[in-house]
Structure 1
């Protein structure tokens, strides 16, 4: 079991550090809202991954690979959500709202909750996240090992790696944002993030897995 866990951790680490949609969300939120916002978005993503992992352990994510209808419904919903995120980022850049000064704590708390909600939605509405667990976990499952327990273990390993990775990304992005306080720079970053979200949406719509 130890050998299988190490092998899974190594494979998952390589996949996790490759820039993708979730990392982009943490990066963009950290720049716009500071590290607390980035960590809130990361927490939402981790919550989504936890759901996918438990669903894999229970066998529910098999529906995504067995049913094209279920996959397509989730795919279209995810793409629509990404379009909304991208359009929101571009609109904020247009209205010069990319830079936020100090705000009252109730407003900051609501903003962090919004970041958490965005993380959950981005992850759970991406069918590729479910397929990731469904396709990767079985490859490292030791013969005769309990499926549910081993899947939960692998999910915990993946969550731990992601937590560390997002902690590093949010910290680096927040420090970068402190040095880039000019409104024009922040607006450009929002524009880049908005276009990237729209690109991920297009890619998700084009996917026919």
Structure 2
């Protein structure tokens, strides 16, 4: 493995692990169940595969060159993340049933939720477009190298996000206690709401 590939792997690992909407949505779903958390993680990886295809095909260049298109996607992504945040915060306030348990809210399928959250992030394809060329050696064929770099990002996500889901599920005995669950649900809801509002403000 050459030095550039090692450097890129380190940079990509930091990007993937950085807390954001993807991380928060995985934690939220993992609190529901291990299956939901892993499904959401796989959905996020599917979104990254979409961005990989866009970057390699060069379509991401169009997104970067047309501000109106970028803004429209940013608005859609921000609105969706904001919706998830408000929905989560609202669920914290839902009443308990007569048995003391909370009614199960109707939520989007975790796989679809993860995919849409990542796919509607307009910064992802632009990041691919701006970062990948920096690690293509001069004179090397661009397409196979770019594809390899993009697949490294997808592979890292495929390891990281399911690991987060499994860790949250493993700690579920404590995290799912009524008070802890409500606190964590409130924190994730607030984080999603802030992230969604930030995207909308940036698009404005």
Same topology, TM > 0.5: yes
> Residue in 1 aligned with 2:62?
63
Deviating beyond 6 angstroms after TM superposition, the runs of 4 or more aligned structure 1 residues are none
Distance 2:37 2:110 in 1: 7
Distance in 1, matches of 2:203 and 2:71, equals: 8
2:183 is the alignment partner of 1:184: no
- Local SS of the residue matching 2:24: helix
- The answer (yes or no) to whether the contact 1:57–1:147 under 8 Å persists in 2 is no
Establish whether residue 133 from structure 1 lines up as the match of residue 128 from structure 2: yes
Counterpart mapping for 1:20-35 below 5 A: 20-31=20-31, 33-35=32-34
Indicate the SS of the match to 1:19. Answer: coil
Distance in 2 between residues matched to 1:68 and 1:179, nearest whole Å: 46
Give how far 1:126 is off.
0.8
Q: CA deviation at 1:191?
A: 1.5
Alignment check: 8 A CA contact 1:4 1:140 kept: yes
Q: Which consecutive residues of structure 1, in runs of 5 or more, have no partner in the other structure?
A: 104-109
Please give the TM-score of this superposition, normalised by the length of structure 2: 0.88
SS at match of 2:109: helix
Q: What is the CA distance between 1:143 and its match in structure 2?
A: 1.6
Residue equivalent to 1:9 = 9
CA–CA separation in structure 2 for the residues paired with 1:140 and 1:95? 49
Structure 1, residues 102-159: CA drift from partner, whole Å, max 9, x if none?
A: x9xxxxxx97x70010111101111011111111101101122222222211111111
Shift of 1:165: 1.3
Tell me the CA shift for residue 55 of structure 1.
Answer: 0.7
**Does the residue aligned with 2:138 lie in a helix, a strand or coil?**
coil
Report the counterpart of residue 148 of structure 1 in structure 2. 143
Q: Judging changes above 3 Å, is the alpha-carbon distance between structure 1 residues 176 and 46 closer, same or farther for their aligned structure 2 residues?
A: same
Aligned twin of 1:157: 152
CA drift of 1:100 comes to 7.4
| Mapped partners of 2:71, 2:59: distance in 1 | 16
Cα-Cα RMSD: 2.3
- TM-score w.r.t. the length of structure 1 is 0.86
Residue of structure 1 equivalent to 2:113: 118
1:53–1:151 contact (8 Å) kept in structure 2: no
Contact 2:21 2:81 in 1 (8 A): no
Q: Which runs of 5+ in 2 are unaligned?
A: none
Between 1:66-75 and 1:12-21, the stretch displaced more is 12-21
